[in-house]
Chains A and B, each alone.
Chain A
Amino acid sequence: MKITGKFALPPYLQETLKKAIFYEWLTVGYLLTVIVLMFLVMGSSQAMKTAWLEDALSILPAISFLIASRIYNKPATKEFPYGFHKVFSIAFLTGSVALFAMGCFLAIDSAITLIKAERPTIGSIYVFNTQIWMGWLMMLTLCYSAFPAMWLGYKKMPLAKKMHNKILFTDATTQKADYMTAFAAIIGILGVGFGIWWADASAALFISISVIKDGFKGLKNAIADLMDRHPMDVKNNEKDNLVEEIKKLAKQWPWAKQVRVRFREHGMVYFGELYIIPMKGFALDGKIEAAKDELLAYHWKIHDVTIMVEDTFDENVV
Protein backbone atom coordinates (compact mmCIF):
# COMPACT_ATOMS: atom_id res chain seq x y z
CA MET A 1 0.00 0.00 0.00
CA LYS A 2 1.15 3.50 -0.81
CA ILE A 3 0.78 5.88 2.09
CA THR A 4 1.17 9.64 1.88
CA GLY A 5 4.45 11.18 3.01
CA LYS A 6 5.17 12.77 6.35
CA PHE A 7 4.11 16.40 6.45
CA ALA A 8 5.99 19.26 7.98
CA LEU A 9 5.04 22.90 7.66
CA PRO A 10 7.85 25.03 6.26
CA PRO A 11 9.90 26.58 9.11
CA TYR A 12 8.41 30.06 8.74
CA LEU A 13 4.92 28.59 9.06
CA GLN A 14 5.87 26.49 12.07
CA GLU A 15 6.43 29.79 13.86
CA THR A 16 3.01 30.94 12.67
CA LEU A 17 1.41 27.74 13.94
CA LYS A 18 3.07 28.18 17.33
CA LYS A 19 1.73 31.71 17.51
CA ALA A 20 -1.74 30.54 16.49
CA ILE A 21 -1.69 27.87 19.18
CA PHE A 22 -0.66 30.48 21.75
CA TYR A 23 -3.48 32.83 20.74
CA GLU A 24 -6.00 29.99 20.80
CA TRP A 25 -4.97 29.06 24.35
CA LEU A 26 -5.32 32.72 25.25
CA THR A 27 -8.76 32.68 23.62
CA VAL A 28 -9.88 29.65 25.61
CA GLY A 29 -8.71 31.19 28.90
CA TYR A 30 -10.28 34.55 28.15
CA LEU A 31 -13.58 33.05 26.97
CA LEU A 32 -13.84 30.98 30.16
CA THR A 33 -13.72 34.19 32.19
CA VAL A 34 -16.31 35.78 29.88
CA ILE A 35 -18.64 32.79 30.20
CA VAL A 36 -18.49 32.83 34.01
CA LEU A 37 -18.93 36.62 34.27
CA MET A 38 -21.82 36.68 31.80
CA PHE A 39 -23.54 33.86 33.65
CA LEU A 40 -23.24 35.74 36.93
CA VAL A 41 -24.88 38.93 35.65
CA MET A 42 -27.24 37.39 33.07
CA GLY A 43 -30.49 37.64 35.10
CA SER A 44 -33.67 37.27 33.09
CA SER A 45 -32.49 39.18 30.03
CA GLN A 46 -33.04 37.26 26.80
CA ALA A 47 -30.35 39.26 24.99
CA MET A 48 -27.83 38.40 27.68
CA LYS A 49 -28.79 34.74 27.55
CA THR A 50 -28.29 34.73 23.77
CA ALA A 51 -24.98 36.58 23.92
CA TRP A 52 -23.86 34.24 26.70
CA LEU A 53 -24.62 31.11 24.68
CA GLU A 54 -22.92 32.64 21.67
CA ASP A 55 -19.80 33.28 23.71
CA ALA A 56 -19.95 29.79 25.19
CA LEU A 57 -20.12 28.37 21.66
CA SER A 58 -17.34 30.55 20.34
CA ILE A 59 -14.93 28.59 22.50
CA LEU A 60 -15.54 25.54 20.26
CA PRO A 61 -13.48 26.62 17.22
CA ALA A 62 -10.52 27.42 19.49
CA ILE A 63 -10.72 24.04 21.22
CA SER A 64 -11.20 22.22 17.90
CA PHE A 65 -8.16 24.02 16.50
CA LEU A 66 -6.03 23.08 19.49
CA ILE A 67 -7.06 19.43 19.28
CA ALA A 68 -6.72 19.26 15.50
CA SER A 69 -3.29 20.90 15.56
CA ARG A 70 -2.04 17.97 17.64
CA ILE A 71 -3.43 15.38 15.24
CA TYR A 72 -3.14 16.73 11.69
CA ASN A 73 0.53 15.90 11.05
CA LYS A 74 0.62 12.47 12.58
CA PRO A 75 2.31 10.16 10.03
CA ALA A 76 -0.08 8.31 7.74
CA THR A 77 -0.75 4.67 8.59
CA LYS A 78 -1.97 1.67 6.66
CA GLU A 79 -5.40 2.32 8.08
CA PHE A 80 -5.31 6.03 7.22
CA PRO A 81 -3.13 6.11 4.10
CA TYR A 82 -4.00 9.76 3.34
CA GLY A 83 -2.85 10.93 6.77
CA PHE A 84 -4.86 12.97 9.22
CA HIS A 85 -5.05 16.35 7.51
CA LYS A 86 -8.80 16.26 7.23
CA VAL A 87 -9.11 16.52 10.99
CA PHE A 88 -9.24 20.29 10.43
CA SER A 89 -12.14 19.93 8.01
CA ILE A 90 -13.98 17.75 10.52
CA ALA A 91 -13.36 20.23 13.33
CA PHE A 92 -14.60 22.98 11.03
CA LEU A 93 -17.77 21.00 10.27
CA THR A 94 -18.58 20.22 13.91
CA GLY A 95 -18.04 23.84 14.93
CA SER A 96 -20.34 25.04 12.17
CA VAL A 97 -23.06 22.51 12.98
CA ALA A 98 -23.01 23.59 16.63
CA LEU A 99 -23.16 27.26 15.68
CA PHE A 100 -25.99 26.73 13.19
CA ALA A 101 -28.07 24.55 15.51
CA MET A 102 -27.65 26.89 18.46
CA GLY A 103 -28.52 29.87 16.24
CA CYS A 104 -31.80 28.19 15.25
CA PHE A 105 -32.63 27.37 18.87
CA LEU A 106 -31.88 30.91 20.00
CA ALA A 107 -33.91 32.48 17.20
CA ILE A 108 -36.97 30.38 18.09
CA ASP A 109 -36.49 31.01 21.80
CA SER A 110 -36.17 34.76 21.30
CA ALA A 111 -39.13 34.88 18.91
CA ILE A 112 -41.31 33.10 21.49
CA THR A 113 -40.20 35.57 24.16
CA LEU A 114 -41.05 38.42 21.83
CA ILE A 115 -44.46 37.00 20.86
CA LYS A 116 -45.37 36.27 24.47
CA ALA A 117 -44.43 39.89 25.17
CA GLU A 118 -42.36 38.85 28.17
CA ARG A 119 -40.90 41.80 30.02
CA PRO A 120 -37.47 41.25 31.51
CA THR A 121 -37.09 42.13 35.18
CA ILE A 122 -33.62 43.36 35.97
CA GLY A 123 -32.92 44.09 39.61
CA SER A 124 -30.09 45.79 41.44
CA ILE A 125 -27.02 44.89 43.41
CA TYR A 126 -25.20 46.69 46.21
CA VAL A 127 -21.52 47.37 45.69
CA PHE A 128 -19.79 49.31 48.50
CA ASN A 129 -23.17 50.49 49.80
CA THR A 130 -24.16 51.91 46.44
CA GLN A 131 -27.15 50.56 44.60
CA ILE A 132 -26.24 49.65 41.02
CA TRP A 133 -28.77 48.54 38.46
CA MET A 134 -27.71 45.10 37.17
CA GLY A 135 -28.26 46.41 33.64
CA TRP A 136 -25.11 48.54 33.94
CA LEU A 137 -23.08 45.53 35.05
CA MET A 138 -24.46 43.57 32.11
CA MET A 139 -23.35 46.28 29.70
CA LEU A 140 -19.91 46.41 31.30
CA THR A 141 -19.56 42.63 30.99
CA LEU A 142 -20.66 42.81 27.37
CA CYS A 143 -17.88 45.32 26.69
CA TYR A 144 -15.45 42.91 28.30
CA SER A 145 -16.82 40.17 26.04
CA ALA A 146 -16.25 42.31 22.94
CA PHE A 147 -13.01 44.28 22.98
CA PRO A 148 -10.43 41.61 23.91
CA ALA A 149 -12.23 39.24 21.51
CA MET A 150 -11.84 41.76 18.70
CA TRP A 151 -8.13 42.11 19.46
CA LEU A 152 -7.70 38.32 19.41
CA GLY A 153 -9.60 38.18 16.12
CA TYR A 154 -7.28 40.77 14.55
CA LYS A 155 -4.24 38.88 15.80
CA LYS A 156 -5.41 35.49 14.49
CA MET A 157 -6.68 36.63 11.10
CA PRO A 158 -3.29 37.03 9.33
CA LEU A 159 -2.06 33.75 10.84
CA ALA A 160 -5.08 31.92 9.45
CA LYS A 161 -4.51 33.39 5.98
CA LYS A 162 -0.83 32.43 6.00
CA MET A 163 -1.53 28.85 7.01
CA HIS A 164 -4.62 28.38 4.85
CA ASN A 165 -6.47 27.26 7.96
CA LYS A 166 -10.22 27.59 7.69
CA ILE A 167 -11.14 26.84 11.26
CA LEU A 168 -8.72 29.49 12.52
CA PHE A 169 -10.02 31.88 9.88
CA THR A 170 -13.65 31.32 10.89
CA ASP A 171 -12.70 31.73 14.52
CA ALA A 172 -10.91 35.00 13.80
CA THR A 173 -13.73 36.43 11.66
CA THR A 174 -16.38 35.54 14.23
CA GLN A 175 -14.37 37.11 17.02
CA LYS A 176 -13.68 40.23 15.01
CA ALA A 177 -17.42 40.59 14.52
CA ASP A 178 -18.17 39.89 18.17
CA TYR A 179 -18.61 43.56 18.96
CA MET A 180 -21.83 43.41 16.90
CA THR A 181 -23.31 40.89 19.31
CA ALA A 182 -22.21 42.85 22.35
CA PHE A 183 -23.43 46.10 20.84
CA ALA A 184 -26.84 44.61 20.01
CA ALA A 185 -27.18 43.21 23.52
CA ILE A 186 -26.17 46.56 25.04
CA ILE A 187 -28.85 48.32 22.98
CA GLY A 188 -31.35 45.70 24.16
CA ILE A 189 -30.53 46.21 27.82
CA LEU A 190 -30.41 49.98 27.47
CA GLY A 191 -33.86 49.66 25.88
CA VAL A 192 -35.11 47.74 28.91
CA GLY A 193 -33.67 50.51 31.06
CA PHE A 194 -35.82 52.97 29.18
CA GLY A 195 -38.87 50.79 29.75
CA ILE A 196 -39.00 49.52 26.16
CA TRP A 197 -39.81 45.93 26.99
CA TRP A 198 -39.42 44.53 23.45
CA ALA A 199 -35.88 45.86 23.03
CA ASP A 200 -34.36 42.91 24.88
CA ALA A 201 -35.98 40.10 22.90
CA SER A 202 -35.50 41.99 19.62
CA ALA A 203 -31.78 42.33 20.30
CA ALA A 204 -31.68 38.63 21.12
CA LEU A 205 -33.41 37.82 17.84
CA PHE A 206 -30.92 39.98 15.94
CA ILE A 207 -28.00 38.19 17.62
CA SER A 208 -29.45 34.74 16.89
CA ILE A 209 -29.87 35.62 13.23
CA SER A 210 -26.21 36.61 13.03
CA VAL A 211 -25.28 33.30 14.73
CA ILE A 212 -27.38 31.39 12.17
CA LYS A 213 -25.71 33.32 9.35
CA ASP A 214 -22.21 32.48 10.61
CA GLY A 215 -23.16 28.86 11.22
CA PHE A 216 -24.72 28.45 7.78
CA LYS A 217 -21.75 29.99 5.99
CA GLY A 218 -19.37 27.68 7.84
CA LEU A 219 -21.59 24.67 7.30
CA LYS A 220 -21.77 25.30 3.55
CA ASN A 221 -18.00 25.63 3.27
CA ALA A 222 -17.21 22.68 5.51
CA ILE A 223 -19.55 20.36 3.61
CA ALA A 224 -18.21 21.54 0.25
CA ASP A 225 -14.63 20.89 1.38
CA LEU A 226 -15.49 17.42 2.58
CA MET A 227 -17.18 16.85 -0.79
CA ASP A 228 -13.73 17.47 -2.34
CA ARG A 229 -14.60 20.60 -4.29
CA HIS A 230 -11.94 22.66 -6.05
CA PRO A 231 -9.61 24.12 -3.37
CA MET A 232 -10.78 27.54 -2.24
CA ASP A 233 -8.68 30.44 -1.07
CA VAL A 234 -9.24 31.14 2.63
CA LYS A 235 -8.96 34.90 2.12
CA ASN A 236 -11.72 35.52 -0.40
CA ASN A 237 -13.40 32.14 -0.76
CA GLU A 238 -12.65 32.04 -4.47
CA LYS A 239 -11.00 29.21 -6.39
CA ASP A 240 -7.36 28.97 -5.37
CA ASN A 241 -5.08 30.05 -8.21
CA LEU A 242 -2.47 27.55 -7.14
CA VAL A 243 -4.22 24.80 -9.11
CA GLU A 244 -4.03 26.87 -12.28
CA GLU A 245 -0.35 27.65 -11.55
CA ILE A 246 0.40 23.94 -11.26
CA LYS A 247 -1.27 23.36 -14.60
CA LYS A 248 0.78 26.12 -16.25
CA LEU A 249 3.96 24.74 -14.69
CA ALA A 250 3.25 21.24 -15.99
CA LYS A 251 2.47 22.57 -19.45
CA GLN A 252 6.00 23.96 -19.63
CA TRP A 253 7.54 20.52 -19.32
CA PRO A 254 8.90 19.75 -22.80
CA TRP A 255 7.65 16.16 -22.66
CA ALA A 256 4.08 17.12 -21.75
CA LYS A 257 1.78 17.59 -24.70
CA GLN A 258 -1.48 18.02 -22.85
CA VAL A 259 -2.14 18.44 -19.13
CA ARG A 260 -5.25 18.15 -16.95
CA VAL A 261 -5.18 18.69 -13.20
CA ARG A 262 -7.46 17.98 -10.26
CA PHE A 263 -6.86 18.89 -6.61
CA ARG A 264 -8.78 18.65 -3.36
CA GLU A 265 -8.30 20.11 0.10
CA HIS A 266 -7.22 18.00 3.03
CA GLY A 267 -7.34 20.54 5.83
CA MET A 268 -4.44 22.91 5.22
CA VAL A 269 -2.88 20.95 2.34
CA TYR A 270 -3.88 19.78 -1.14
CA PHE A 271 -3.92 16.28 -2.61
CA GLY A 272 -4.37 15.83 -6.34
CA GLU A 273 -3.72 14.23 -9.70
CA LEU A 274 -2.15 15.33 -12.96
CA TYR A 275 -3.18 13.60 -16.18
CA ILE A 276 -0.62 14.05 -18.91
CA ILE A 277 -0.48 13.04 -22.57
CA PRO A 278 3.26 12.95 -23.35
CA MET A 279 4.89 14.10 -26.59
CA LYS A 280 5.57 11.23 -28.92
CA GLY A 281 9.16 10.12 -28.97
CA PHE A 282 10.12 11.41 -25.51
CA ALA A 283 11.64 8.86 -23.19
CA LEU A 284 9.79 9.17 -19.85
CA ASP A 285 12.30 7.39 -17.65
CA GLY A 286 12.93 9.49 -14.53
CA LYS A 287 10.76 12.36 -15.84
CA ILE A 288 7.70 11.47 -13.77
CA GLU A 289 9.69 11.29 -10.53
CA ALA A 290 11.43 14.61 -11.28
CA ALA A 291 8.08 16.23 -12.16
CA LYS A 292 6.56 15.05 -8.93
CA ASP A 293 9.48 16.40 -6.89
CA GLU A 294 9.19 19.73 -8.69
CA LEU A 295 5.50 20.00 -7.88
CA LEU A 296 5.94 19.08 -4.23
CA ALA A 297 8.71 21.66 -3.93
CA TYR A 298 6.64 24.33 -5.72
CA HIS A 299 4.39 25.17 -2.77
CA TRP A 300 4.08 23.77 0.75
CA LYS A 301 0.35 23.34 0.26
CA ILE A 302 0.93 20.73 -2.46
CA HIS A 303 1.40 17.69 -0.30
CA ASP A 304 0.57 14.66 -2.40
CA VAL A 305 0.47 14.36 -6.21
CA THR A 306 -0.23 11.43 -8.47
CA ILE A 307 0.89 11.76 -12.12
CA MET A 308 -0.96 9.66 -14.65
CA VAL A 309 0.33 9.23 -18.19
CA GLU A 310 -2.49 8.71 -20.70
CA ASP A 311 -2.77 8.12 -24.42
CA THR A 312 -5.92 10.18 -24.85
CA PHE A 313 -8.28 12.13 -22.59
CA ASP A 314 -11.77 10.86 -22.27
CA GLU A 315 -14.60 13.40 -22.13
CA ASN A 316 -14.68 13.51 -18.35
CA VAL A 317 -11.24 15.01 -18.10
CA VAL A 318 -11.61 18.77 -18.22
Chain B
Amino acid sequence: MFINISFVGCELPKDSRDSVLDAQINGLKIGVVVNPPFTVHDNTGFSGSEIDLLQEFCSEKSITYQLIEGTESELIKKLNKADIHIIIGGFKKNTIWQEKAGLTKTYDEEHVLLVPKGENKLVMELESFMEKNKAR
Protein backbone atom coordinates (compact mmCIF):
# COMPACT_ATOMS: atom_id res chain seq x y z
CA MET B 1 0.00 0.00 0.00
CA PHE B 2 2.79 2.40 0.96
CA ILE B 3 4.78 1.67 -2.19
CA ASN B 4 1.60 2.15 -4.13
CA ILE B 5 0.99 5.56 -2.60
CA SER B 6 4.54 6.74 -3.20
CA PHE B 7 4.35 5.50 -6.78
CA VAL B 8 1.13 7.40 -7.34
CA GLY B 9 2.78 10.29 -5.47
CA CYS B 10 5.07 10.97 -8.37
CA GLU B 11 2.09 11.27 -10.66
CA LEU B 12 0.00 13.54 -8.48
CA PRO B 13 -1.41 16.08 -8.74
CA LYS B 14 -3.07 16.03 -12.14
CA ASP B 15 -4.81 18.90 -13.89
CA SER B 16 -8.57 19.00 -13.91
CA ARG B 17 -8.51 20.16 -17.55
CA ASP B 18 -5.19 18.70 -18.67
CA SER B 19 -3.55 22.09 -19.16
CA VAL B 20 -0.01 20.70 -19.10
CA LEU B 21 -0.81 18.07 -21.70
CA ASP B 22 -2.56 20.65 -23.86
CA ALA B 23 0.42 23.00 -23.58
CA GLN B 24 2.77 20.19 -24.61
CA ILE B 25 0.71 19.47 -27.71
CA ASN B 26 -0.62 22.87 -28.72
CA GLY B 27 1.81 25.22 -26.99
CA LEU B 28 1.45 27.31 -23.82
CA LYS B 29 -1.07 30.08 -24.35
CA ILE B 30 0.03 33.05 -22.25
CA GLY B 31 -2.32 35.96 -21.59
CA VAL B 32 -0.40 39.21 -21.24
CA VAL B 33 -1.65 42.30 -19.41
CA VAL B 34 0.81 45.06 -20.27
CA ASN B 35 2.35 46.31 -17.03
CA PRO B 36 5.99 47.44 -17.28
CA PRO B 37 8.52 46.36 -16.18
CA PHE B 38 6.93 42.89 -15.88
CA THR B 39 5.31 42.91 -19.29
CA VAL B 40 6.05 45.39 -22.08
CA HIS B 41 4.65 45.53 -25.62
CA ASP B 42 6.25 47.97 -28.06
CA ASN B 43 7.17 47.96 -31.75
CA THR B 44 10.00 45.53 -31.06
CA GLY B 45 7.52 43.01 -29.67
CA PHE B 46 6.93 41.63 -26.16
CA SER B 47 9.51 41.95 -23.41
CA GLY B 48 9.71 42.29 -19.63
CA SER B 49 10.78 40.19 -16.66
CA GLU B 50 7.73 37.91 -16.60
CA ILE B 51 7.89 37.35 -20.37
CA ASP B 52 11.53 36.33 -19.93
CA LEU B 53 10.59 34.03 -17.07
CA LEU B 54 8.00 32.17 -19.13
CA GLN B 55 10.17 32.06 -22.25
CA GLU B 56 12.78 30.30 -20.16
CA PHE B 57 10.14 27.97 -18.72
CA CYS B 58 8.99 27.00 -22.20
CA SER B 59 12.47 26.45 -23.53
CA GLU B 60 13.31 24.27 -20.53
CA LYS B 61 10.20 22.18 -21.13
CA SER B 62 10.75 22.30 -24.89
CA ILE B 63 7.29 23.60 -25.59
CA THR B 64 6.15 26.39 -27.89
CA TYR B 65 4.21 29.38 -26.62
CA GLN B 66 1.83 32.01 -27.84
CA LEU B 67 1.35 35.46 -26.32
CA ILE B 68 -2.16 36.91 -26.27
CA GLU B 69 -2.55 40.51 -25.16
CA GLY B 70 -5.72 41.70 -23.44
CA THR B 71 -7.24 43.49 -20.48
CA GLU B 72 -7.42 41.77 -17.10
CA SER B 73 -11.13 40.98 -17.29
CA GLU B 74 -10.94 39.75 -20.91
CA LEU B 75 -8.10 37.42 -20.09
CA ILE B 76 -9.72 36.12 -16.86
CA LYS B 77 -12.77 35.14 -18.92
CA LYS B 78 -10.53 33.31 -21.39
CA LEU B 79 -8.69 31.66 -18.51
CA ASN B 80 -11.91 30.34 -17.04
CA LYS B 81 -12.99 28.97 -20.42
CA ALA B 82 -9.59 27.24 -20.60
CA ASP B 83 -8.78 29.20 -23.79
CA ILE B 84 -5.47 30.27 -22.25
CA HIS B 85 -3.24 28.57 -19.67
CA ILE B 86 -1.74 31.48 -17.79
CA ILE B 87 -1.96 35.25 -17.27
CA ILE B 88 1.02 37.47 -16.51
CA GLY B 89 1.24 41.18 -15.80
CA GLY B 90 2.89 41.83 -12.45
CA PHE B 91 0.02 40.47 -10.34
CA LYS B 92 0.63 40.65 -6.59
CA LYS B 93 -0.21 37.79 -4.23
CA ASN B 94 -3.21 39.70 -2.84
CA THR B 95 -4.63 40.34 -6.33
CA ILE B 96 -8.35 40.96 -6.63
CA TRP B 97 -8.52 38.00 -9.03
CA GLN B 98 -7.78 35.33 -6.43
CA GLU B 99 -11.46 34.38 -6.34
CA LYS B 100 -11.56 33.86 -10.11
CA ALA B 101 -8.16 32.35 -10.79
CA GLY B 102 -5.64 30.01 -9.24
CA LEU B 103 -2.41 31.59 -8.01
CA THR B 104 1.08 30.20 -8.09
CA LYS B 105 3.29 31.04 -5.15
CA THR B 106 5.40 34.17 -5.51
CA TYR B 107 8.47 34.01 -7.70
CA ASP B 108 10.07 37.01 -5.94
CA GLU B 109 8.27 37.19 -2.54
CA GLU B 110 5.61 39.49 -4.03
CA HIS B 111 4.45 38.62 -7.55
CA VAL B 112 2.46 35.63 -8.75
CA LEU B 113 1.20 34.16 -12.02
CA LEU B 114 -2.49 33.46 -12.60
CA VAL B 115 -3.58 30.02 -13.81
CA PRO B 116 -7.02 28.40 -14.27
CA LYS B 117 -8.40 27.13 -10.97
CA GLY B 118 -7.80 23.44 -10.36
CA GLU B 119 -4.86 23.09 -12.75
CA ASN B 120 -2.66 21.69 -10.04
CA LYS B 121 -0.10 19.96 -12.22
CA LEU B 122 0.51 23.21 -14.08
CA VAL B 123 0.97 24.97 -10.72
CA MET B 124 3.45 22.29 -9.62
CA GLU B 125 5.47 22.62 -12.85
CA LEU B 126 5.55 26.41 -12.65
CA GLU B 127 6.43 26.47 -8.95
CA SER B 128 9.19 23.92 -9.41
CA PHE B 129 10.63 26.06 -12.22
CA MET B 130 10.33 29.24 -10.14
CA GLU B 131 12.15 27.61 -7.23
CA LYS B 132 15.03 26.50 -9.47
CA ASN B 133 15.08 29.97 -11.00
CA LYS B 134 15.38 31.57 -7.54
CA ALA B 135 18.37 29.42 -6.72
CA ARG B 136 20.19 30.59 -9.84
Contacts and interface: CB of A to CB of B under 8 A. Distances in A.
A194 B14 contact: yes
B117 A121 contact: yes
B115 to A, nearest CB: 7
Interface in B83-136: 102-105, 115-121, 123-124, 127-128, 131
A124 B115 CA distance: 14
Interface stretch (A128-136, A173-181, A214-222, A244-252): A128-136
Most chain B CB atoms below 10 A, which of A122, A124, A131: A124
A121 B128 contact: no
Nearest to B101: A121
A133 B16 CA distance: 15
Nearest to A199: B16
A195 interface: yes
B53 interface: no
Most chain B CB atoms below 10 A, which of A121, A123, A133: A121
B127 A131 contact: yes
A51 B103 CA distance: 23
Contacts of A135: 12-13, 120
Given A123-B105, A124-B128, A131-B131, A118 B13 contact: no
B128 A133 contact: no
A121 B118 contact: yes
Interface in B27-75: none
B13 A133 contact: yes
A7 interface: no
B14 A193 contact: yes
Interface residues of B, number: 24
Given A119-B16, A121-B103, A195-B16, A126 B131 contact: yes
A196 interface: yes
Nearest to B14: A195
B33 to A, nearest CB: 19
Most chain A CB atoms below 10 A, which of B102, B118, B119, B123: B118
B88 to A, nearest CB: 17
A133 B115 contact: no
A192 interface: yes
Given A123-B105, A195-B118, 8 more contacts: A44-B102, A123-B103, A123-B124, A135-B12, A135-B120, A190-B12, A194-B14, A195-B17
27 contacts: A44-B102, A119-B118, A120-B118, A121-B120, A123-B104, A123-B105, A123-B120, A123-B123, A123-B127, A124-B123, A126-B131, A131-B124, A131-B127, A133-B120, A133-B124, A135-B120, A190-B12, A192-B16, A192-B118, A192-B120, A194-B13, A195-B13, A195-B15, A195-B118, A195-B120, A195-B121, A197-B118
